[in-house]
């Protein structure tokens, strides 16, 4: 299934794509794709519906992030060897775990806003997974049954804040609008998560091309690893690292500027498109 949330920010409704790729309204069958609304039982109920008979969503509806009411937004850093090399960092022996704030999540086509004092704003196309049920001390062999679905994340980062201001990476990862998610949440039965192509363009110029086949740590391992240190709840989001091609790795970095357009996609998970806008209150 390709699940979607549509409508104004903060008032999104749950939907599902039909056989023709049109959004059908699911609000008569589930309140939202959030917390218990992502449980295996709830998703099994939705899978059994005749989606072609559901009401249509408005053609011009805004697409929101595919999961609502997120409590925890976890990032995995340096998970592609070639990205670690371009950043001048060692390949980690264990996953690098950091936090993004849930309130930086926006829809896949919403504007990305420059923070105050921006110097080195960067892009990162990433595969993210969304938790469907409480996960603690999960074995790798069992990990996939805890995942409600997969989506695209643009892990927007401010490298000066992240790497040059000392302390935690969170300072460069949690700025307002730095977490575009979506457009869809695709259930695991429709995703070959071990071999997905990823790409990202800025102003029509290809910057990133990669494949999840080159990940250092695979999805089941990452989920299992994280749950050895913290409990993940239904609706939590984990984004899994980026392939090479970020501005940080360029000899002459082309940092994002106001007016730039970022377009990115992952096989089977759709595409995003954001415009970078100046800071505003």
Cis peptide before 31 (omega within 30 of 0): no
Tens-binned pLDDT, residue by residue, of the chain (281 aa): 999 999 999 999 999 999 999 999 999 999 999 999 999 999 999 999 999 999 999 999 999 999 999 999 999 998 998 787 787 777 889 999 999 999 999 999 999 999 999 999 999 999 999 999 999 999 999 999 999 999 999 999 999 999 999 888 999 999 999 999 999 999 999 999 999 999 999 999 999 999 999 999 999 999 999 999 999 999 999 999 999 999 999 999 999 999 999 999 999 999 999 999 999 98
73-276: CATH topology is Fumarylacetoacetate hydrolase; domain 2 (3.90.850)
Note whether 38 and 84 are within 8 A (CB). no
- Range(s) within the chain of domains with CATH label 3.90.850.10: 73-276
Give the DSSP H or E segment for 261: strand 261-266
**What are 222-226's contacts with CB under 8 Å, separation 24+?**
222/76, 222/79, 222/95, 223/129, 223/135, 223/138, 223/140, 223/143, 223/146, 223/147, 224/138, 224/139, 224/140, 224/143, 225/94, 225/95, 226/74, 226/95, 226/97
Distance CA 19, CA 74 (A): 33
Note whether 113 and 280 are within 8 A (CB). yes
This prediction's pTM:
0.96
């Amino acid at each position: 299934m390709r699940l979607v949330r549509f409508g104004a920010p903060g008032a999104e409704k749950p939907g599902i794509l039909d056989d023709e790729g049109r959004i059908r309204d699911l609000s008569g069958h589930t309140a939202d794709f959030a917390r218990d609304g992502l449980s295996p039982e709830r998703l099994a109920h939705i899978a059994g519906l005749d989606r072609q008979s559901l009401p249509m969503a408005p053609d011009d509806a805004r697409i929101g992030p595919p999961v609502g009411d997120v409590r925890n937004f976890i990032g995995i850093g340096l998970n592609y060897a070639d990205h670690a090399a371009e950043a001048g960092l060692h390949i980690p022996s264990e996953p690098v775990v950091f936090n993004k704030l849930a309130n930086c999540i926006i829809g896949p086509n919403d504007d990305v806003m420059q923070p105050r004092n921006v110097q080195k704003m960067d892009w990162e196309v990433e595969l993210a997974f969304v938790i469907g049920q409480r996960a603690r001390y999960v074995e790798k062999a069992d990990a996939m049954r805890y995942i409600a679905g997969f989506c695209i994340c643009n892990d927007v980062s401010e490298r000066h804040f992240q790497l040059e201001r000392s302390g935690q990476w969170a300072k460069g990862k949690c700025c307002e609008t730095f977490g575009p998610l979506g457009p869809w949440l695709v259930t695991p039965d429709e995703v070959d998560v071990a071999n997905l192509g990823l790409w990202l363009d800025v102003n029509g110029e290809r910057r990133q091309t990669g494949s999840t086949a080159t990940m250092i740590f695979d999805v089941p391992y990452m989920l299992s690893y994280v749950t050895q240190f913290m409990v993940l709840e239904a609706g939590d989001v984990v984004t899994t690292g980026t392939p090479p091609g970020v501005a940080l790795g360029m000899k002459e970095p082309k940092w994002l500027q106001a007016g730039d357009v970022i377009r990115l996609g992952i096989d089977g998970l759709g595409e995003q498109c954001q415009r970078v806008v100046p800071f505003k209150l």
